[in-house]
Structure 1
Amino acid sequence: MAPAPILTTHDLARTFETKHGTVEAVRGIDMHVERGEILGFLGPNGAGKSTTLKMLTTLLAPTRGRASVDGLDLAREPAAVRRRIGYVAQTSGTDPNETVHGELVFQGRLYGLARAEATARAEEVADGLGLGALRSRTCAQLSGGQKRRLDIALALVHRPALLFLDEPTTGLDPGSRADLWDLIRHVRGERGTTVFLTTHYLDEADALADRLVVVDGGRVVAEGTPHDLKTTHGGSPEATLQDTFIAITGRGPRRDEPAPVAV
C-alpha cells in the first residue's frame, strides 16, 4: 500500500479586504505532494504562489478549504505542523554578527533541543552541507551562496519531513546556483526530505523537480512531470522547459490580458 502524500490541500483559498474591495489571492488550490519528491511550484507574479506558501507554512490562515502536512491539520494543529516543516524564505533572517555555529545551535534550541543535542546537530548539519570549514565565520563574512547554504542548514536542524524553499537561488551567480542545486538534490537523496520549491527559473524547475504544479489567477492550471508537460503542451521530452510554451489564462474577468507563461 502506497504511503499517503506528505502534503494535501483541498479548495485552499485566501481573500483579502482592501479599500478597493475583496481580492481573491488564492481561489481554491487542490494539490498533493508525495513523500520524498521535489515539487516545483510555478506561476507568474501575482498568481498566488506566495500566499499559498504562507498558508502552507502556517504564516497565514486560509479563508476556506483545508490542508494537511504529515497527517496533521494545518488549521487545527499549526504548532505540530511547524515542528515537521523547514522553511527557507526569499531573504535571510540570520544575525550578521553571529557565527555559523552559533546560528545553528540557536536554531536547534528554538526547536526545543537540549544544548548538547543542539550542538551535536549543528556540527552534523554543518558538515553534511559543506559548512564545516565556515563554523567560526560570522554570517556577515559569508558569500551569497554560503548564506543560502546556511539558510537551508538552519531549516534542517530539527530534521523536518518537508522543506519549503521560496526562490532559493534568486540573485546567485551561476556557480553558486549550480552548487545549491547539488545541495537540494543531496537533501532529498541522502536525507529523504521532501522538497517544495518555488522558482521563477524554468531551467531550475526542469533540472530539479520530479513534478510541477503551475498556478495562475489563484488556481492550479497545469500539473505533471516536466516530461509530461513538455510532451502534452507542444514540446518534446528532449526540449527544455524554456522551449515549451503554454499560454495560461485565468477563469473569469481580468482587468488586463494575462501574459503567456513559459514552462
Structure 2
Amino acid sequence: MPENPEQDAATPDEDGKKGNPFLLWLKEIGTVIGIAVVLSFLIKTFLFKAFFIPSESMVATLEKDDRIFVNLLVPEPFALQRGDIVVFKDTQGWLPATQPETPGPFTWLQDSLAFVGLLPDETEQHLVKRVIGLPGDHVVCCDSQARVSVNGTVLDEDYLNPAETPIAQPFDVVVPAGKIWVMGDNRNNSADSREHREVNGGFINLPDVEGKAAVIAWPVGRWQVLDNHAEVFRSVPAPSPEDTNSSTAPTGK
C-alpha cells in the first residue's frame, strides 16, 4: 500500500490532459495564433499597414494590384523626404465616390483580417504618389525636355515609366506650410497634384498622409524594398526665403 496515496493518485482531469496530446497540440496552436494576431494588430496600429495599388499611376515602380506595406512612422516621428512614395487619404475628392458594396458571406472575415492588419484596409479611399515638393519648395514644369525642377534644380527622374515620354504639363507652384506636392511615376497616366489644382491648389495636407510605402509584399515575384531615389534630389537646395511666390501658388490655407 503506498505511503502517500494523494501523491500517487492522479485526478481525472490530469489523466485527461496527459492522455489527450491532440488537445494540448490544439491549445499550443491556438496560443501561437492568438499571439500572432495580437502582434499583427500592434504592428498594423503602430508600425506598418497593408494597402493595395488600385491603378497604374505608379507604373513601373508599382503595378496595379500590388500589395504594399506602409511605414506608419513617417511623416511622424520621422520626416518625409523628397522622393518618398506615400499613401494618403482622399479627403479632397480626387477619386470618384464609391457605392457601398453589398456584404458577402465572408465580409466579416475580411473586415476582421483587415482590422488586425492581415489584409489591406479598403474601408477608406486612398491614393499613392511620390513626393516631389516639400513645404516651401518651388516646383516648376517644364524645361525643353519636359523635366521638373525643384528650387531651380532640374530633376533627372530615373524612376519614371520608361515606356512613355512625359508630356509637358506646365505649372509653377510654391508648396505651402503643412502640405506636399505629389506626382505619379507613370506621369502621363496619373491624376496627381497637377490635375487637381482647383482643389487646395493640388497640395496634400500632411495630416492626410498615412505613411511611407516601404516594401512590395505581394505578389512574391515582385517583393522588393521601395527606393526613394535620394540621388535624384541630392542637389536640390533648401527653399530660398526670397522665392516664396509663383504664378499659381495659393496663399490661403
Structures share fold, TM-score greater than 0.5: no
Larger Rg: 2
More helix by share: 1
TM-score, normalising length from structure 2? 0.24
